[in-house]
């Protein structure tokens, strides 16, 4: 099968369009509003009459306004970011109307899936975050060095470029080294047990990270990446996918997350480690909040610890839409204060 991988040989604006020089760093934020009738109709058409699988759970596409805190925190705590690219599917987040006409208007732009899937439009629409992340490096005009944010990631404190890319260009990664499951006898037994029971319907994050490590040449270990903003490099991915177009095509194709996929952010991390341009540094920490699952007092305690810990620089708030109303109110107030209200940031407050 013929596969086009634009950008692999410097065709895109990534090579010709790093407008501020090689030191520029961009942010990329993926976003979707599952309540949009047009998006919901596209998903329903794809699913047809089949039962909704776990990978298509409504919370995966729900928008509870998290992107406002994400973007506000980048503008507030990482003012050195050149451009924030918001990647979405024929949608425009409401924040764009509020940014228009402000001093930040030229620093936040919307990128449609059709731009990053150029040459592969037959695979659209896609409802698969792993497929979308696979193509982020193809954003026209993207700086060679960029940081990928889920829309529910926020910065809690000022961060510096060197927290992601050191002065010599080395990529800063956060995680811990682990043995791959095939090296552990009890994991092999567990996998066999699951297979006898008909498999595991969950699309496992760590298994995908292991596969990413193997693709980069790590046979028995992998760096389990923590869930926080991920630094990535266009050149690293474009060159690897140019050599392995079959992996690019296979990871781009599934319309929902699949256990057969790898995680491109993990692939990039292991490629950097393998070539000596990546380093593990866990000096900064992440506050992970799951308001739909975690008991209120536990969440308050975690937030209080984060307030007192200068090393806690990132937060991720998962499935805010599923949380009870009082919990949502608590978290919204805390995020307004810690990450910043977008209106206040735009006003320079």
CATH code of residue 132: 3.90.550
Answer for the pair 251, 131: CB distance below 8 angstroms, yes or no: yes
Angle CA(87)–CA(89)–CA(95) in degrees, nearest 5?
Answer: 60
pLDDT of residue 193: 66
Q: Is residue 72 part of a domain?
A: yes
Q: Is residue 8 part of a domain?
A: no
| DSSP sequence for 181-236 | GGG-HHHHHHHHHHHHTT---S--HHHHHHHHHHHTT-SSEEEEE-SS-EEEEHHH
User: Comparing 300 with 212, which gets the higher pLDDT?
Assistant: 212
Give the CA distances from residue 165 to residues 73, 107, 160, 264, in Å, rounded to whole numbers and listed in that order.
19, 20, 9, 18
* pLDDT tens-digit map of 260-282: 999 999 999 999 999 999 999 99
Q: Is residue 113 part of a domain?
A: yes
Size of the chain, expressed as the number of residues it contains = 349
pLDDT of residue 20: 40
Domain hosting 78: range is 13-347
Total tally of structural domains belonging to the chain: 1
Q: Is residue 4 part of a domain?
A: no
Q: Is residue 234 part of a domain?
A: yes
C-alpha span between 231 and 148 (Å, rounded): 6
Q: Is residue 296 part of a domain?
A: yes
Q: Is residue 1 part of a domain?
A: no
DSSP H helices, the chain, are 13-16, 37-47, 66-77, 95-99, 113-116, 129-134, 185-196, 205-215, 234-243, 245-252, 264-274, 296-308, 325-335, 342-347
Candidate from 31-40, 163-172, 217-226, 274-283 with smallest mean pLDDT: 31-40
Answer for the pair 93, 69: CB distance below 8 angstroms, yes or no: no
Closest CA to 137 of 259, 242, 246: 242
Reported pTM = 0.88
Q: Is residue 5 part of a domain?
A: no
């Amino acid at each position: 099968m013929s596969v086009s991988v634009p950008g692999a040989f410097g065709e895109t604006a990534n090579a010709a369009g790093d407008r501020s020089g090689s030191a520029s760093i961009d942010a990329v934020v993926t976003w979707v509003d599952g309540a949009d009738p047009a998006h919901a109709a596209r998903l329903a058409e794809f699913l047809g009459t089949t039962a909704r699988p776990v990978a298509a759970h409504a919370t995966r596409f729900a928008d509870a306004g998290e992107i406002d805190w994400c973007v506000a925190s980048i503008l507030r705590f990482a003012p050195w970011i050149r451009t924030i690219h918001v990647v979405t599917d024929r949608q425009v987040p409401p924040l764009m109307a509020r940014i228009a006409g402000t001093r930040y208007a030229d620093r936040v732009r919307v990128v449609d899936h059709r731009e990053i899937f150029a040459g592969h439009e037959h695979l659209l629409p896609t409802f698969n975050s792993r497929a979308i992340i696979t193509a982020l490096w193809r954003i026209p005009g993207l700086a060679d060095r960029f940081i990928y944010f889920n829309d529910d990631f926020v910065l809690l404190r000022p961060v510096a470029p060197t927290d992601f890319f050191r002065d010599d260009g080395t990529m800063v990664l956060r995680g811990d080294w682990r043995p791959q499951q095939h090296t552990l006898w009890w994991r092999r037994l567990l996998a066999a047990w699951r297979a006898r029971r008909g498999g595991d319907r969950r699309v496992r994050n760590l298994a995908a990270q292991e596969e990413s490590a193997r693709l980069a040449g790590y046979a028995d270990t992998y760096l389990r990446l923590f869930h926080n903003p991920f630094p990535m490099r266009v050149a690293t991915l474009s060159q690897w996918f140019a050599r392995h177009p079959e992996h690019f095509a296979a990871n781009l194709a599934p319309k929902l997350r699949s256990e057969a996929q790898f995680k491109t952010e993990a692939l990039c991390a292991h490629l950097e480690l393998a070539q000596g341009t990546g380093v593990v540094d866990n000096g900064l920490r992440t506050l992970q909040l799951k308001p739909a699952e975690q008991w209120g007092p536990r969440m308050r305690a975690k937030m209080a610890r984060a307030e007192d810990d200068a090393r806690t620089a990132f937060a991720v708030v998962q499935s805010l839409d599923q949380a009870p109303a009082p919990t949502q109110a608590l978290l919204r107030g805390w995020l307004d204060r810690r990450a910043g209200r977008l209106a206040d940031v735009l006003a320079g407050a």
